Amino acid sequence: MKLAFSTLGVPGLPLDDVVRLASAHGYHGVELRAHPEEPVHPGLGPAERAEAAARFQDTGIEVLAVAGYAKVAAPGADAPVVEEIRRLIDLAHDLGAGYVRVFPGAGDSQKPEDADAVAARRLGTAAEHAADRGVRILLETHDSHRTGADAIRVLGLVGHRQVGSLWDVMHTWLGGEQPNESYAALSPYLGYVQVKDIASATDTTPLPLGAGVLPLAECVEVLSRHGWDGWLCWEYEKRWYETAAPLPELLDAGHDHLARLLNDSA
């Protein structure tokens, strides 16, 4: 498996520094948070995109994914959501990333089956553009659809190879799923896996990997047992928790912890 980290852990950091951190600490790639407060977002022009892509290509660090904030199950008109996804797809293509992350975001005003249908319709509409650009759209296990069982209700309706799943191990755990259950549900659609650690179900402040309660060893064991050989991406949510320790000083230990888990499960 390859290891990456999300730039959510180093908010606003220039790309040169992101690349330097990945290279220095042994990570194969990065997940780029796509937001106007970050160096990379859909508003970048062609020259800026080409320059950003070149930074990664020159060092051999891969852009794993563009982490967007489109909410595919949110109430409202389809067109703005589909357009947001398409813009993320174009950005991912231009940066050489294979994936775009989207959220469910259904909220509380819809019946679950209605939210599923809305999300599937939008994802299916955007899927053809994703196919043309060589990018997969991944629905993260998050908010209104936090478990694998929730996510596959949508993905099964879409039925398109360019639409898959992003397994956030925190959300499936908070939703009461065991790692083997999450993997069984998501494996036909799985793009990559986001790992992290937290103190408890009521305190989701990010911790160094291995210092919290999330079943990371079980997740890695399940993936290894089934021969899955994709990406593990450390999403350290420093952006939302200002008191959390800085990510750069944790990267070595995080890499070593994941490497040990991979070795133990081999």
pTM of the predicted structure, to 2 decimals: 0.97
Q: What was the pLDDT predicted at 49?
A: 97
- What stretches in the chain show pLDDT beneath 70? none
> Dihedrals φ, ψ of 28, to 5°?
-85, -20
Instruction: Show the beta-strand stretches assigned E in the chain.
Output: 2-6, 29-33, 62-71, 99-103, 136-140, 163-168, 190-195, 231-234
**What pLDDT does residue 108 have?**
87
Distance CA 232, CA 166 (A): 11
Confidence (pLDDT) at 147? 98
Give 3-state DSSP helix, strand, coil % of the chain, rounded to 5. 45, 20, 35
Hey, where are the domains in the chain? Answer: 2-265
Give, in order, the Cα–Cα distances in Å from 50 to each of 8, 77, 85, 93, 121: 22, 33, 20, 11, 32
Distance in angstroms (rounded) separating the CA atoms of residues 170 and 174: 6
Distance of alpha carbon 37 from alpha carbon 59, whole angstroms:
24
**Residue 66 near residue 97, CB atoms below 8 Å:** yes
- pLDDT for the residue numbered 266: 75
pLDDT per position as a tens digit, 89-133: 999 999 999 999 999 999 888 999 999 999 999 999 999 999 999
Answer CATH for 2-265 from 3.10.300.10, 3.20.20.150, 1.10.1740.10, 3.30.499.10: 3.20.20.150
Q: What is the pLDDT of residue 109?
A: 87
